[in-house]
Amino acid sequence: MSLFHHLFLPHHTNNQRAKILHPSALSVIIGCFALFQILIGQVINRFPDILGYASQIPAGEIVQLTNSERQSRGLSQLKLNPELSAAALQKASDMFARNYWAHVSPGGVQPWFFITQAGYTYRYAGENLARDFSDPKSIIQAWLNSPTHRDNLLNSRYEDIGVAVVDGTLEGKDTTLVVQMFGTKLASAPAVGGRSASVVAKALEERPQPSHTPTPVPTTVAVQPGLPSAAAYLTSVEEPPKNFLGFSPFEITKFTSLGLLTLFAVVLLIDVIVVNRRKINRWTSKSFAHLVFIIILIIAAGTILRGQIL
C-alpha cells in the first residue's frame, strides 16, 4: 500500500508528488514504451505467427449478426452468396490498391461493377462499408444507427449477402475494411413495375438492376499483393486467420497507449485535488495544465480510433 501511495499519490515519501510524475519516472516510462514498440516491431518481423496482423472481425459473424437483426424484425434470413463475397473482396482490394474510402472509386467504378464482374446478375443490390472497428457487434450497431445503412441491412427485398473483411493500409493507416454486399438475383425476384435506371450510388443504397446493360468505367481491378484471392477467401470466410495471442499489434499498442494516458489523467486529477485540499506548497510544473493536455489527447485519440461507416 505504501508503494501504491509512493507511485500514485502525493505523499511524504515522494516529496508530495506521485512518483510517476517525477522526471526520473517519466523518463523510465518513455524509455520502456519506446522499447516496447521496438520489441513489437521485431516480433512481428521475426515471428509473424506470434504477433502477425490479424483481424478480429470474422466475416461469418457479420452475416450471423445481420441475420439475427433481420430475424428479430420478422424479416427473412439472407443466404451467404459466394459471388457476392467475391465481389466484396474485389471491392475491398480495389479500395486498398487505389487508396480510396468511398462507394465509387476515383476512376468512377461503382460497386455494382464488382457484383456483375463476380457473376452475380442482380435485380437489387446494395453496399455497406466500415473501417477501423475492432469487433463485429460495433459495426452492426453503427450501421443500425445510420438510417441509410439500416435501410440496407433490414431491406426485405434482399435475399443474398456477401461479406469481406480485409486488412491493409488505407490513406496511410493500417486498416481493417469491412465490405458488406446485398443482392437479389434477377431470376429470383418478382418483377417490379417502373424500375428506375437512374439510381445514384450512395452510401447504402438499394439499387434496382437497370433495364439496360450497366456500363461501368472499364478498368482492371488490381488486387493488392498479399491479399487473399477470392477463392481462397471464400473457404475461410467463417474463420479469419488469427495470430498466437489473438490480438493485432495495433490493438496491443492501442490498449497500452490509452491505458497509460488514462492512468496519467487519473493520477494528475488526484494530484490536483489532494494538493489543493491539503494546501501543499510545491515547486513543480502545473498538474492542472498537464491534466488539460492529457484530457484533450484522450478526446482526440478516442475520435481517431472510432470506426467509420460509409
Partner 1 sequence: MSEIVFEKDFSRHPLHYFTLLCVLLVGLWGLFWFSYYPGMQFSIFISMAVSYVVWGIVHHREHHSLHLKIVMEYLLIAVFAVLLFGSILLRT
CA distance 93 to 221: 8
CB of 161 to partner 1, least distance (A): 29
Q: Where are the alpha helices (DSSP H) in the chain?
A: 2-8, 23-46, 48-51, 59-72, 82-98, 111-117, 136-145, 147-153, 230-235, 249-278, 287-305
Contact pattern from residue 169 through residue 188 relative to partner 1, giving x for each residue in contact according to CB under 8 A and a dash for the rest: --xxxx--------------
Nearer to partner 1, 86 or 165 (CB): 165
Collapse the DSSP code of 252 into the 3-class scheme (helix H, G, I; strand E, B; otherwise coil) and give the result.
Answer: helix
Burial class of residue 113, CB neighbours in 10 A (0-12, 13-18, 19+): buried
CA distance 6 to 90: 56
Write out the binding residues for partner 1, residues 243-302 only, by CB under 8 A: 250, 253-254, 257-258, 260-261, 264, 272, 275-276, 279-286, 288-290, 292-294, 296-297, 299-301
Write out the binding residues for partner 1, residues 199-238 only, by CB under 8 A: none
CB of 34 to partner 1, least distance (A): 6
The answer to whether the CB of 97 falls within 8 A of the CB of 223 is yes
Nearer to partner 1, 217 or 300 (CB): 300
Is residue 46 a contact residue for partner 1 (CB under 8 A)?
no
Write out the binding residues for partner 1, residues 72-131 only, by CB under 8 A: 101
Nearer to partner 1, 244 or 255 (CB): 255
CB of 261 to partner 1, least distance (A): 6
Other C-beta atoms lying within 10 Å of the C-beta of residue 279: 6
CA angle, corner 20, sides to 273 and 22, nearest 5?
90
> What residue ranges bind partner 1 (CB under 8 A)?
21, 23, 26-27, 29-30, 33-34, 37, 41, 101, 171-174, 250, 253-254, 257-258, 260-261, 264, 272, 275-276, 279-286, 288-290, 292-294, 296-297, 299-301, 303-305
